[in-house]
Amino acid sequence: MKTAFDLIVIGGGSGGLACAQRAAEYGASVALIEKAPLGGTCVNVGCVPKKVMWYASHLTHQLQLAADYGFDVAVESHDWKSLKEKRDAYIKRLNKIYETNLNKRNIYLIRGEARFENEETITVSEKKYTARHIVIATGGQPIVPEIDGAEYGITSDGFFELEEQPRDVCIVGSGYIAIEFAGMLAAMGSNVNLSIRTESILRTFDSMLSENLKKIMLHYGVKINTNKTPISLGKENGKLVLITADGLQSQPYDSLIWAIGRSPATANLNLSAVSIHSDESGYIPVDKFQNTNVENIYAIGDVIGKEQLTPVAIAAGRRLSDRLFNRMKDRHLDYSMIPTVVFSHPPIGTVGMTEKEAKEKFKDDIKVYTSVFNPMIYALSDDNKKIQSSMKLITQGKNERIIGCHVIGEGADEMLQGFAVAIKKGATKQEFDDTVAIHPTSAEEFVTMR
């Protein structure tokens, strides 16, 4: 049995897999340690099954619009169980593909939980493995509040285990996971209550996005209960009842989903054995090269507490292996101008600074362009003026370099990638203006707004 390697990667999620496979392509001997199905959060209980559910809920809206285009369409029912079975089978196929890819690259897969023995040694089920380089890529897990009865609720992981669609559901949280689940369930017919601690949703996003999405969610029937801090969750007659700090008791729910954030999966790694620094939340600080404070030990992905996105972890993992095993000594990931999408209804796309962030950094040396319009897909619908698209460009300096780009509306998820490339390369407002518009599309607003 092989026990010594050039590289050990702890964690078989997107970042860990990318790092291990890139290193193996350069000829390194690699071991990957994973206790759960390969693919990590994204493939198993995150972006992949989430996008499947988003497609299902998006189809609901499309079927509703079909009547406005002359189609005689009636949806009699939806088979949640069948959808779950097909989705789960798809995920299992992906798990198998990942394992096959590891085998093709001669990457040694070790099943179990990893713990540090020393700076070069990892223990898994009492067996010791050594490597010149060790990468921590263990990802994260959903946070459950420390309140009475919290165990009656489920997390985002539990959402994907639901055998039946809940009729009445409460989602606690205001971030992108809460927003996405609320939109999906409401579109598919659940009565959704979103319980948030403040007045706003998506508070770290540009205010244009959060304010417009909130209006649209209300239009779609999502009830948003503001200024609600949960203090306990109880069961009454088989239903769940949420008690909040204002002393009020909620209506009874079939299900409650905690979507209040995620924490790094670092507690069981025995980091103290090698004196790896971590903050009070368990995140591992790294420099721009993904180095921890211990030589030849690195961290990538959600465990470092930066942009917790699958493509970010993949990019960081590949660049790290480029540097370690392909003599690209300055290779590293630039964490600025990273685009992201929220699969709400309609979706949101964003890259760069919010208007608030830009004002704080550049004061009056910015200019903001906005556009609000009725997307053509609703031209024949009663929803024409209720589901508007909004766009914003934030520029800085005399040459008006674009430092922020934000959009909510049909197609936002697909249109952002191309604009993100241009903005990453330093595009200016004039260069956007000089680009011929593609008509009729929503995306053309980005190159025609004045």
Coil vs helix vs strand at 93: helix
The dihedral of CA 79, 82, 83, 84: what is its sign? positive
Spatial CA neighbour of 177 closest among 281, 84, 309, 282: 309
Contacts of 240 (CB under 8 A, 6+ apart): 152, 153, 170, 233, 234, 252, 253, 254, 255, 256
Spatial CA neighbour of 170 closest among 54, 231, 229, 254: 254
Token output for 65 = 């619009």
Contacts of 179 (CB under 8 A, 6+ apart): 194, 201, 202, 213, 217, 342, 344
Burial class of 95 by CB neighbour count within 10 A (0 to 12, 13 to 18, 19+): middle
DSSP β-ladder status, 108-111 and 30-34? parallel
The residue whose two tokens read 């290779």 is 331
- Residue-wise DSSP of 298-338: EE-GGGGSS---HHHHHHHHHHHHHHHHS--TT-----SS-
The dihedral of CA 145, 148, 153, 154: what is its sign? positive
Coil vs helix vs strand at 239: strand
What type of residue is 227? N
- Residue-wise DSSP of 351-387: EE--HHHHHHHHTTSEEEEEEEE--GGGTTSTTTTTS
The C-alpha angle with vertex 256 and arms to 253 and 259, in degrees rounded to 5, equals 150
Asked if residue 50 lies in contact with residue 57, where contact means CB atoms within 8 angstroms, the answer is: no
- CA dihedral in degrees (186, 192, 198, 202; nearest 10)? -20
CA distance 182 to 223: 10
Active site amino acids? 439
Start-to-end CA distance of the chain, whole Å, equals 66
Asked if residue 274 lies in contact with residue 130, where contact means CB atoms within 8 angstroms, the answer is: no
